[in-house]
């Protein structure tokens, strides 16, 4: 039996396997799902603090208003937007639309650009309203 030099697994990145946009978007969809799930606990914590009022709300506001809190909120916002848009993209695939390779790449770029633009728009409106 001849021994061939070929990769054993697609997870062997580098010279053996070239990372593709489709695999990156798939990984991002999973990561944003996890971030959105963790962020939901943060949202629940904030809602409980609002309901309790007083000191609990001041503590939650201090954490969420800090630099680290704002970064976490921005990551949560981006993850919700990206996960929603990529989920719509997957629903379109389930309906049989956009499954050819050029369309897959084009819709991937659209999801990335729209995720960044919509996240920035949400933050622009939120920060403008807070001022």
* Residue 47 forms part of a structural domain: yes
Round to whole Å and give the CA distance between 44 and 112. 28
* Residue 81 forms part of a structural domain: yes
* Residue 2 forms part of a structural domain: no
Q: Which residues are annotated as a binding site?
A: 83
Give the per-residue pLDDT at 92.
Answer: 95
Q: Which residues are annotated as a binding site for heme?
A: 83
* Residue 7 forms part of a structural domain: no
Round to whole Å and give the CA distance between 26 and 1. 36
Give the per-residue pLDDT at 12.
Answer: 60
Q: Domain of 93: which CATH number?
A: 1.20.1300.10
Question: How many other C-beta atoms can be found within 10 angstroms of the C-beta atom of residue 79?
Answer: 23
Round to whole Å and give the CA distance between 65 and 91. 36
* Residue 16 forms part of a structural domain: no
* Residue 105 forms part of a structural domain: yes
Instruction: Please report, in tens digits, the pLDDT of each residue of the chain (131 residues total).
Output: 566 676 566 556 566 667 789 989 999 999 999 999 999 999 999 999 999 999 999 999 999 999 999 999 999 999 999 999 999 999 999 999 998 999 999 999 999 999 999 999 999 999 998 76
Domain that holds residue 107: 21-130
Round to whole Å and give the CA distance between 2 and 8. 15
Number of domains in the chain: 1
* Residue 69 forms part of a structural domain: yes
């Amino acid at each position: 039996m001849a021994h061939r030099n070929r990769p054993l697994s697609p997870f062997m990145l580098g010279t053996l396997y070239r990372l593709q946009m489709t695999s990156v978007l798939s990984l991002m969809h999973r990561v944003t799902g996890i971030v959105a799930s963790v962020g939901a606990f943060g949202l629940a914590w904030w809602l409980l603090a609002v309901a309790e009022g007083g000191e609990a709300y001041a503590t939650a506001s201090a954490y969420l208003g800090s630099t680290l809190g704002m970064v976490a909120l921005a990551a949560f916002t981006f993850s919700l937007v990206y996960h929603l848009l990529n989920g719509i993209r997957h629903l379109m695939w389930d309906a049989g639309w956009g499954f050819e390779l050029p369309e897959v790449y084009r819709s991937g770029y659209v999801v990335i650009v729209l995720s960044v633009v919509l996240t920035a728009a949400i933050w622009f409106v939120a920060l403008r309203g807070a001022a």
